[in-house]
A and B are shown apart, each in its own frame.
Chain A
Amino acid sequence: MQAEQTAADLKTLASDVVAKALKAGATDAEAVVYEGDEFSALVRLGQVETLKESGSRAIGLRVFVASGKAQRTASTSSSDFSVESIKRLVDGAITLAKITSEDPFAGLPEREDFGKIDADQHLYFDDVNQMPPAERIETARRVEAAAMGFDTRIQNSGGGDFDTATSHKILVNSRGFAGEYRRSYCGFSAMPIAVDEKGGMQRNYWYSVARTAAKLESPEEIGHEAARRTLARLGARQAKTQKAPVVFSPEIARSIVGNIFEAANGDSIYRNASFFCDQLGEQVAGENITVVDDGTLMLDGIGGFGTSPFDGEGLPTRRTVLVEKGVLKNYALNTYTARKLGMKSTGNASRGLAGNPGIGAGNFYLEPGTLTPAELIGDVKNGLYVTETMGFGVNLVTGDYSQGASGMWIENGELAYPVEEITIAGNLKDMYKNIVAIGNDLVFRGASAAPTIRVEGMMIAGS
C-alpha cells in the first residue's frame, strides 16, 4: 500500500532521524521503523463475510541525554512521515527527556555487544503476497466446509478464515548499529459450533500457521480436527470438587510453561515481583524439566515464529537455557535489566514503537519426554485432562494459580466424558516440581510450544 517510499528510503529516514536527534541535543538515539501489510478473509456458512486489506507504517524514536554517568530517556512515535511530523517527533523526544530522571542504568547497549545473525533465517516468503485473493477466500471456504460437513451435530459456525501478514522492521542507532528484516505469515482456521439434542452449544477451533503458503496443512484436515475438538465438548458436565492429577494438552501446557519465561523476566526479577527472585542456581522444577528460549531456531530450514536476526536493541539473538534439569540457570534480560542485576543481556529485548524496551521470548519451549500422550493419560486412574483454560488467575509474584478449565474426565486411563465449569488451582512453584510426566509430542504452532504434561495434586473445584 505504501509504494512511493522504498525500503532504502525508510532506512535512510531512520538514519536521518537518529542524526537529527543527535543534532537536537541527544547523546544517543535509536529509531525503529515498522511497515506492514495485512489481508484477511472470513467466510461464514459458505459466504464471504469480511474482507480486509491494508497496509500501515510507523516510526518510533528513543533518545538519551547524558548528565554525568547517568542518562535521561524518552520516546516518541508517529504514523505520519511528513517533514513537519518528523521534526515534531525529534523535538518532542528531546523536550520529554528533560522531565525524566537521571538513571545510571539507562542507555543504549555497549558497542561491542551489537550484532546480528548473518545466516539467512528464511523468515520471508513472497508467495504469501502473491496468492490471488480468490485462492485465499477459497481456502477459508474449504476449511469451514470441511468442519461443517464432518458431522450432522456441527450446525453453526463462527466461520473459516484465512490471513496473511508481512512486516518489515528497521532498527538504527547512534552507536553504529543498523539492521533490518522482513517476516511473512499466513494461516487459516475454522471455528465450528456443535449442538446437542438438548440444544446445548459448544464451539472450538483448530488452525494451521506458517511463514510460507507451501508449509500450510490441508484445509480439510484442519477443518476435521476443528470439528473433532468441538464435538468432544458436547454434553459436558461439572466435575466434583477434589484433589486429582491433571494432564495438560500441549496448548495449555504451553501457557503453564510460558509462565516460566514470565517469572524469569528480568523486569520482574529486579523489582522483586517474581517467585523466581533469588532463585538462580536453585532447583525450581523437577529434574525432568529443561526449558529453552531460542531466538535462532530453524524448523525444517525455516525460521520459527520467534526467530529474528537481532533483538529489539540490536543484539544478536541466541539460544538460552532458562531451566536445565530443573535448575534455574538464566533470567531473560535486556540491556537495562542486565545492568540492574549486574549481568549480561540475553538478547531478549523487545521494542515497540514507543516506550522503553521490554523483554520478549524468542522460540520458547519445554524439551519433550519419551511418553506418548496416551501413555501419559493411561497412568491416571481418576483425573482431569485439560484442553482449555480461562481467566487471569495467575499471580507471578506468589506463584498462586487459579483458572477456569474444561476438558475430559479421565477414568482408569481413558478419556471418559467432557467436563466444564470447573476451576483448577495450585501454586506454580509446586506445579513445576510436580510435573511427573512429559510427552513426546512437541510441535511448534507459534513461537512457544510444549508437549503434553501431567501435574500431580492439583485442586479441582466444581459441584
Chain B
Amino acid sequence: MMNSASSPDHKRYFIEKLGISERLMERCLGEALSAGGEYADLYFESVTSTSLGIDESLVKSASQGISVGCGIRVLSGERTGFTYTDDLSSDRLLKAARTAALIASGPAKELAHGFTHTPTPALYPVAGATSDAEISEKLKLIQRADKAARAYDSRIVQVRAGFNDELRRILVAASDGTFASDTQPLARLNIFVIAKDGANTARGTSGGGGRVALDFFEGKKSPETFAREAARTAMLQLGAVDAPAGEMEVVLGPGWPGVLIHEAVGHGLEADFNRKKTSAFAGLIGQQVASSKVTVVDNGTMPNRRGSLNVDDEGTPTQENVLIENGILKGYLTDKLSARLMGTASTGSGRRESYQAITMPRMTNTYMLSGEDLPEDIIKSVKRGLYAVNFGGGQVDITNGKFVFSASEAYLIEDGKVTQPVKGATLIGNGPEALKYVSMVGNDLALDEGIGTCGKNGQSVPVGVGMPTVKLDRMTVGGTGQ
C-alpha cells in the first residue's frame, strides 16, 4: 500500500495547476513582514472530498466538495496576525499578506533569500488513495455493510452506513526558509444501527479507516467486520443493566479506550496551554504524573494511520514524541510559535483544521505502551469493578485537569470474572492524578480503528489513540445503579 511518490508531485499541483510561483510566495512573505514581524508563513490548501450514505438500504446521499484557499500568518513576539483568502490571484494574496502584516509595528524585515525544500516522507499512498477509486467501488462498501448488519439478527431494524474520503494537498512556505508540501488522503467507513426487541431499543456504532487505499477495506477491515461489530454492540445493549455509580476499580480494554490518554494527559501537554501556564500540567516536567508502569507517546509517523502526517501544517516533519516515560513527565507537544517562546524546537505538532484556521499544537496518534501483564490476569485481579472496552467521546478542562470519557460498551467484573453488560456511563477523573492509580498494564497494545476526531478551540483534526489493557485502582463511574 505504500507509495514512493516524492514531493515534486504536491508542489507541481500548486505551482503548475494553481499558478502559485515561488517568486509570488516570496513577494507575499515580503509583504507579510513589511511592518516588522519575526516570522510569516503561507499555507496553501486544496481539499476534494466525497461523501456517500446509505439508509434504509437506499443510497440516499452522495456529495462532493472542493475547497481551495490560502491562510497567511505573521508572528511578532507572542502576537499572531492572521488572514485567509479563497481567491488565489496574486493581487488577493498580496492584499491578504498586507492585512496580516498589521499585527506588527516596526520596520520591514528583510526576507532571507531562498527556500529549503523539505523532503516529504511517504507514510501513506498518494496515487492509489481511495480518492482515486471508482465511486461505484466505494458504494459497494456501504452496500455490503448494510447487508451484513441486517443479516446479523432480525432485531436489527435500522442500518445507516457512510463512506467519507478526502484528498488534502498542502504547501507551506515560510520566512524561515521552510518549503514543504504534502498530499494527505483520508478515508472513513461508519456504520450506525438500531436494534429493537419489543419496547427495548438500543444503538450500536462501528467503523474504521485511515490514510489508506481502498484495499484497506478488504480482509480484516472489511465492511462486514465493522457492520457485525455495530450490530453486536447494539444487541448487547438490549440486554444491558444499569451501570454502577461511584468509585471503583476500572479495567480498560485495548485500543479505543486510549481516549483516556488523549483526554487525561494529551491535551494538558499541548504547549500553548503550558507556556501560558493555564494547564494543570504546567511546570510538572520531570515530575511523577503517572504510575511507573505508564509510558505515553505521541507518534505522527505511523504508516497509514488516521492521525499521521508526513509533515505538520507548518512544514515540520512529524516525529515520535515521548510525553511520559515510566510515569515521569518528559515533554510537551509544540508548534513553531510555542517552541520559539519556550526556547525549544517544534515537535512537529503544529496542526490546523483548514486554511481558514490558525495553527495550534495538537496530537497525532497518542498511546500508552504495552506492559508485561496478561490481560486475563488483570481481569482476575478485580473483585468488583467495571470492564470498559469501547468508548464514545471524551472531554477535558485543561486548567483544573478534570476529564471525562463515555463508555459505550462495558461489563461488570465480579470476583475476577466478566459478568453482565452494563449501559453506557461516563467515567470522570483528574488528569495529573488518574494515571497514578494504574496498577497493571497489559502486553496487548492496540490502536483504534481510525475514526477519531479531536476538537480544540472549534477546530477538528483527525487523530488516533491507543492503549493496552490497563487497570486503574480507582476511578469514578457515573452510572445510575448502586
Tell whether, in the assembled complex, residue B82 and residue A402 are in contact, meaning their CB atoms are under 8 Å apart. no
Considering the complex, which residues of chain A in the window 74-117 have a beta carbon less than 8 Å from any beta carbon of chain B?
74-80, 85, 88, 92-93, 96-97, 99-103, 106
Tell whether B428 is near chain A: CB-to-CB under 8 Å. Answer: yes
Considering the complex, which residues of chain A in the window 11-35 have a beta carbon less than 8 Å from any beta carbon of chain B?
none
Contacts of A103 in B (CB 8 A): 58, 60
**Pick from A75, A92, A156, A271: contact of B278, CB under 8 Å:** A156
B contact patch SS: strand
Tell whether B178 is near chain A: CB-to-CB under 8 Å. Answer: no
Tell whether B476 is near chain A: CB-to-CB under 8 Å. Answer: yes
Tell whether, in the assembled complex, residue A273 and residue B203 are in contact, meaning their CB atoms are under 8 Å apart. yes
Tell whether, in the assembled complex, residue B278 and residue A193 are in contact, meaning their CB atoms are under 8 Å apart. yes
**Pick from B278, B424, B428: contact of A422, CB under 8 Å:** B428
Tell whether A301 is near chain B: CB-to-CB under 8 Å. Answer: no
Tell whether B59 is near chain A: CB-to-CB under 8 Å. Answer: yes
Contact with A along B387-398 (1 / 0, CB 8 A): 000001111110
Tell whether, in the assembled complex, residue A459 and residue B480 are in contact, meaning their CB atoms are under 8 Å apart. yes
Tell whether B86 is near chain A: CB-to-CB under 8 Å. Answer: yes
Contacts of B158 in A (CB 8 A): 271-273
Tell whether, in the assembled complex, residue A403 and residue B86 are in contact, meaning their CB atoms are under 8 Å apart. no
Tell whether, in the assembled complex, residue B58 and residue A79 are in contact, meaning their CB atoms are under 8 Å apart. no
**Pick from A390, A402, A463: contact of B243, CB under 8 Å:** A402
Q: Whole-angstrom distance from the CB of B403 to the nearest CB of chain A?
A: 8
Q: Whole-angstrom distance from the CB of A173 to the nearest CB of chain B?
A: 17
Considering the complex, which residues of chain A in the window 420-463 have a beta carbon less than 8 Å from any beta carbon of chain B?
420-427, 459-463
Considering the complex, which residues of chain A in the window 186-244 have a beta carbon less than 8 Å from any beta carbon of chain B?
193, 200-203, 233, 236, 238, 241
**Pick from A53, A93, A421: contact of B428, CB under 8 Å:** A421
Q: A100-B60, A355-B51 are in contact. Are A421 and B136 (CB under 8 A)?
A: no
Tell whether A356 is near chain B: CB-to-CB under 8 Å. Answer: yes
Q: How far is the CA of A1 from the CA of B99 in the complex (A)?
A: 11
Contacts of A106 in B (CB 8 A): 60
Tell whether, in the assembled complex, residue B278 and residue A272 are in contact, meaning their CB atoms are under 8 Å apart. no
Tell whether B131 is near chain A: CB-to-CB under 8 Å. Answer: no
Q: Identify which of B24-32, B73-81, B207-215, B323-331 touches chain A.
A: B73-81
Report how many residues on chain B are interfacial, defined by Cβ distance under 8 Å.
78
Tell whether A176 is near chain B: CB-to-CB under 8 Å. Answer: no
Tell whether A49 is near chain B: CB-to-CB under 8 Å. Answer: yes
Q: Identify which of A54-62, A283-291, A313-321 touches chain B.
A: A54-62
Tell whether B415 is near chain A: CB-to-CB under 8 Å. Answer: no
Tell whether, in the assembled complex, residue B60 and residue A354 are in contact, meaning their CB atoms are under 8 Å apart. no
Tell whether, in the assembled complex, residue A79 and residue B406 are in contact, meaning their CB atoms are under 8 Å apart. no
Contacts of A238 in B (CB 8 A): 476
Closest to A78 in B: B66
Tell whether, in the assembled complex, residue B479 and residue A420 are in contact, meaning their CB atoms are under 8 Å apart. no
Closest to B160 in A: A271
Tell whether A302 is near chain B: CB-to-CB under 8 Å. Answer: no
Contacts of B78 in A (CB 8 A): 44, 47, 49
Q: Whole-angstrom distance from the CB of B289 to the nearest CB of chain A?
A: 15
Tell whether, in the assembled complex, residue B399 and residue A193 are in contact, meaning their CB atoms are under 8 Å apart. yes
Tell whether A397 is near chain B: CB-to-CB under 8 Å. Answer: yes
**Pick from B67, B135, B356, B392: contact of A99, CB under 8 Å:** B135
Tell whether A379 is near chain B: CB-to-CB under 8 Å. Answer: no
Q: How far is the CA of A52 from the CA of B430 in the complex (A)?
A: 34
Contacts of B237 in A (CB 8 A): 398
Tell whether, in the assembled complex, residue B84 and residue A56 are in contact, meaning their CB atoms are under 8 Å apart. yes
Q: Whole-angstrom distance from the CB of A68 to the nearest CB of chain B?
A: 15
Tell whether, in the assembled complex, residue B399 and residue A202 are in contact, meaning their CB atoms are under 8 Å apart. yes
Closest to B103 in A: A51
Tell whether, in the assembled complex, residue B400 and residue A100 are in contact, meaning their CB atoms are under 8 Å apart. no
Tell whether, in the assembled complex, residue A54 and residue B399 are in contact, meaning their CB atoms are under 8 Å apart. no
Contacts of A425 in B (CB 8 A): 243, 245, 425-426, 478-480
Q: Which of A96, A421, A463 has the most CB of B within 10 A?
A: A421
Q: How far is the CA of A354 from the CA of B103 in the complex (A)?
A: 35
**Pick from B79, B277, B280: contact of A47, CB under 8 Å:** B79
Tell whether A413 is near chain B: CB-to-CB under 8 Å. Answer: no
Tell whether B168 is near chain A: CB-to-CB under 8 Å. Answer: no
Tell whether A400 is near chain B: CB-to-CB under 8 Å. Answer: yes
Q: Identify which of B194-202, B221-229, B375-383, B435-443 touches chain A.
A: B194-202
Tell whether A404 is near chain B: CB-to-CB under 8 Å. Answer: yes
Q: Which of B66, B69, B476, B478 has the most CB of A within 10 A?
A: B478
Contacts of B405 in A (CB 8 A): 391
Contacts of A427 in B (CB 8 A): 480
Contacts of B481 in A (CB 8 A): 459
Tell whether, in the assembled complex, residue A397 and residue B399 are in contact, meaning their CB atoms are under 8 Å apart. no
Tell whether, in the assembled complex, residue A77 and residue B63 are in contact, meaning their CB atoms are under 8 Å apart. yes
Q: Which of B86, B201, B276, B392 has the most CB of A within 10 A?
A: B86
Tell whether B5 is near chain A: CB-to-CB under 8 Å. Answer: no
Closest to B95 in A: A1
Tell whether, in the assembled complex, residue B246 and residue A461 are in contact, meaning their CB atoms are under 8 Å apart. yes
**Pick from A53, A92, A400, A462: contact of B64, CB under 8 Å:** A92
Q: Whole-angstrom distance from the CB of A13 to the nearest CB of chain B?
A: 15
Q: Whole-angstrom distance from the CB of A22 to the nearest CB of chain B?
A: 19
Q: A397-B203, A423-B428 are in contact. Are A404 and B194 (CB under 8 A)?
A: no
Q: A272-B194, A391-B404, A425-B245 are in contact. Are A402 and B426 (CB under 8 A)?
A: yes
Considering the complex, which residues of chain B in the window 412-456 have a beta carbon less than 8 Å from any beta carbon of chain A?
423-430
Contacts of A271 in B (CB 8 A): 55-56, 158, 160, 194
Q: Whole-angstrom distance from the CB of A171 to the nearest CB of chain B?
A: 17
Q: Whole-angstrom distance from the CB of A240 to the nearest CB of chain B?
A: 9
Contacts of B90 in A (CB 8 A): none
Tell whether, in the assembled complex, residue A421 and residue B402 are in contact, meaning their CB atoms are under 8 Å apart. yes
Q: How far is the CA of A102 from the CA of B135 in the complex (A)?
A: 17
Contacts of B276 in A (CB 8 A): 44, 156, 158
Tell whether, in the assembled complex, residue B400 and residue A422 are in contact, meaning their CB atoms are under 8 Å apart. no
Tell whether B102 is near chain A: CB-to-CB under 8 Å. Answer: yes
Q: How far is the CA of A77 from the CA of B63 in the complex (A)?
A: 8
Q: Whole-angstrom distance from the CB of B87 to the nearest CB of chain A?
A: 7
Q: How far is the CA of A53 from the CA of B97 in the complex (A)?
A: 11
Tell whether B477 is near chain A: CB-to-CB under 8 Å. Answer: yes
Tell whether A50 is near chain B: CB-to-CB under 8 Å. Answer: yes
Contact with B along A391-427 (1 / 0, CB 8 A): 1110101101011101000000000000011111111
Tell whether B139 is near chain A: CB-to-CB under 8 Å. Answer: yes
**Pick from A47, A79, A102, A426: contact of B86, CB under 8 Å:** A79
Tell whether, in the assembled complex, residue B69 and residue A56 are in contact, meaning their CB atoms are under 8 Å apart. yes
Nearest 9 CB-CB pairings of A with B: A423-B478, A404-B404, A241-B246, A392-B393, A391-B404, A101-B58, A393-B426, A461-B245, A354-B63
A-B contact pairs, 6 of them (CB 8 A): A52-B82, A73-B60, A80-B68, A96-B135, A236-B400, A272-B158
Interface positions of B (Cβ within 8 A of A): 51, 55-56, 58-69, 78-87, 96, 99, 102-103, 135-136, 139, 157-158, 160, 194, 196, 201-203, 237, 243, 245-247, 276-278, 280, 356, 358, 392-397, 399-400, 402-406, 423-430, 476-481
Given known contacts A99-B62, A203-B400, A459-B481, what 5 new A-B pairs fall within 8 Å (CB)? A1-B85, A158-B278, A241-B247, A272-B194, A425-B245
